[in-house]
Structure 1
Amino acid sequence: MKPSQTLSRTCSFSGLSLRSIGVHWTHQAPGKGLEWIGVIGSAGDAYYNPTLKSRFSISRDTSKSQVYLSLTSLRAEDTAMYYCVRHSEGKSV
């Protein structure tokens, strides 16, 4: 991808209602540790890592059981593996 483009990632779930779970996004740059990007809760409210730039956006489509991560204005330092993680609210994961 070229700088200034937008990165979009989709996380799909089967057999789960997004209205009963939260979904976290993390990323890991080469040679670095995991960094938490943010979470979208069961009610659809999104929270983000305040140390990251506000170029990230997390959304969802409950009818498709999909959660989306969008990153605008790509930079070289955004090169990383991106992961989504289910969070069952009120339970350990």
Structure 2
Amino acid sequence: FALLGHRTYLIPLTQCVSFHSLTVRPDATFTINCKVSYSVTSYATGWIRQPAGKTLEWIGVIWSNGILYYKDSLKSKFSITRDTSSNTITLQGKNMQAEDTAVYYCARDTQ
């Protein structure tokens, strides 16, 4: 996935640490917790989704230093947080619509 148009991340399957299939109801909210086996202060972790029959869509990333970036069109809909004590990355969605139904992937940067 591309971040800010200047770096492309290739995520091997082994780097996909969790996935969740969500069927969304209109105006729903949700929270997905992704507990990882690595230190979240050592690697960036991103969230990606794939609606049925469509391509992967990058949602956002939290860098090892805690800095966040979101896809512009989704930044008002999603929020990414982390708990460094439990190495958990959380994706929260709000005002979801049927078109937000997708498989949501939590993935670690390869570097």
2:35 matched residue in structure 1 = 12
Larger helix fraction of residues: 2
What SS does structure 1 have at the residue aligned with 2:74?
Answer: coil
Q: Name the aligned partner's letter for residue 22 of structure 1.
A: A
State the aligned residue count: 88
Deviation at residue 62 of structure 1 after TM alignment: 0.5
Q: Which runs of 4+ in 1 moved over 6 A?
A: none
CA distance in 1, matches of 2:75, 2:62: 17
What stretches of structure 1 of length at least 5 have no aligned partner?
none
Aligned mate of 2:100, from 62, 78, 83:
78
Indicate the SS of the match to 1:51: helix
One of 45, 61, 85 as aligned partner of 1:39: 61
Compute the TM-score of the two structures, normalised by the length of structure 1. 0.87
Report Cα offsets for 1:30-76 as digits up to 9, x if no partner: 11000000000001111001132511000000101100001101111
Name the structure where strand makes up a greater proportion of residues.
Answer: 2
Q: Which amino acid aligns with 2:77?
A: R
Describe the SS at the equivalent of 2:49. strand
2:48 is matched with which residue? 26
The amino acid across from 1:48 in the alignment is: Y
**Identity across aligned pairs (percent)?**
47
Q: TM-score, normalised by structure 2?
A: 0.74
Structure 2 residues without counterparts, runs of 5 or longer: 1-23
